[in-house]
């Protein structure tokens, strides 16, 4: 099963690019982030015509996550457990075949001096608890998405310049390791150890794409039973170079099912 993740940065604005990529890459499952629309406004007809079932958790103008799958999507969980007061649409989880998948849009957290950063860290603690629960339930779990965290220095084009940013702050990186330590394998680094210039995000400003000033902030985390089935993982840079592109590009992994 080929499972991909893509922060689409507005599904309606990028719909032609999304449909093209679904046709070209043909993932069995696509996890979307930042769909930026309510569930009723999601382009379900066009994506359904492309051969995909759909589960969404959206909100007006901001955030929003979705799961697209060629097979039925079952037992859908809307929202990350642990804080009933959290109204931001950042997490959706479901079962496709025998695999439990989640689409994650982790908070950005900037500026660090604001209340946005404690929210990010608290959200990551909730995710770590839930990720552990999935392991304890022996789920073949794949948690994919925009984690808004660069785990290592080689995941940032300018590590020194990003040290105090929420995406590369030592506390963010430590919180990411806590999630991994629940028993998860970061699929890309498992198969590409030490490989540089492997980015998933390039800002629209300052010619970042042209200069390859990127960040690797989109990840596929695999629970032990999924990691045992890992066949491949890579980043597809091509969509970022297209007209009206998202500032992110897809990452995918292949799991023997």
Structure confidence by residue, pLDDT tens digits, 28-50: 999 999 999 999 999 999 999 99
pLDDT score recorded for residue 83: 96
Q: Report the 10 Å Cβ neighbour count for 111.
A: 12
Work out the burial of residue 46: count CB atoms within 10 Å of its CB; fewer than 13 is exposed, 13-18 middle, 19 or more buried. middle
Question: What is the percent of the chain where pLDDT is above 90?
Answer: 100
Question: Which domain, by its residues, includes 158?
Answer: 2-255
pLDDT digits (tens, 9 = 90+) for 155-205: 999 999 999 999 999 999 999 999 999 999 999 999 999 999 999 999 999
pLDDT score recorded for residue 120: 98
In this prediction the pTM is 0.98
Query: How many structural domains are present in the chain?
Result: 1
- Whichever domain contains 26, its CATH number is 3.60.10.10
pLDDT digits (tens, 9 = 90+) for 134-143: 999 999 999 9
pLDDT digits (tens, 9 = 90+) for 77-96: 999 999 999 999 999 999 99
Mean local confidence (pLDDT), 88-112 = 98
Mean local confidence (pLDDT), 129-152 = 98
What is the rounded distance in angstroms from the CA atom of residue 184 to the CA atom of residue 175? 13
Question: What is the percent of the chain where pLDDT is above 70?
Answer: 100
Instruction: Pinpoint the alpha helices (H) of 87-160.
Output: 116-136
Structure tokens at 245: 């592109």
């Amino acid at each position: 099963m080929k499972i991909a993740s893509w922060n689409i940065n507005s599904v309606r604005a990028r719909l032609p690019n999304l449909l093209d990529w679904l046709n070209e890459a043909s993932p069995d499952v696509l996890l979307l982030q930042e769909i930026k629309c309510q569930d009723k406004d999601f382009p379900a007809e066009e994506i359904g015509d492309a051969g995909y079932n759909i589960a969404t958790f959206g909100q007006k103008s901001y955030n929003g996550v979705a799961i697209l799958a060629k097979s039925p999507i079952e037992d859908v969980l809307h929202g990350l457990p642990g804080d009933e007061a959290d109204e931001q649409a950042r997490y959706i989880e479901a079962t496709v075949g025998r695999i439990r998948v989640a689409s994650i849009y982790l908070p950005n957290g900037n500026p660090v001096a604001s209340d946005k950063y404690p929210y990010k860290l608290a959200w990551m603690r909730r995710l770590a608890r839930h990720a552990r629960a999935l392991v304890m339930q022996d789920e073949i779990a794949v948690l994919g998405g925009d984690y808004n965290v660069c785990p290592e220095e080689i995941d940032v084009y300018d590590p020194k310049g990003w040290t105090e940013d929420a995406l590369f702050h030592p506390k963010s990186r430590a919180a990411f390791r806590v999630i991994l330590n629940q028993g998860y394998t970061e699929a890309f680094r498992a198969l590409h150890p030490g490989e540089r210039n492997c980015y998933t995000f390039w800002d629209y400003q300052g010619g970042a794409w042209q200069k390859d000033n990127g960040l690797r902030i989109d990840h596929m985390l695999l629970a032990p039973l999924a990691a045992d089935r890992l066949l491949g993982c890579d980043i597809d840079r091509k969509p970022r170079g297209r007209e009206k592109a998202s500032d992110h590009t897809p990452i995918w992994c292949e799991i023997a099912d």
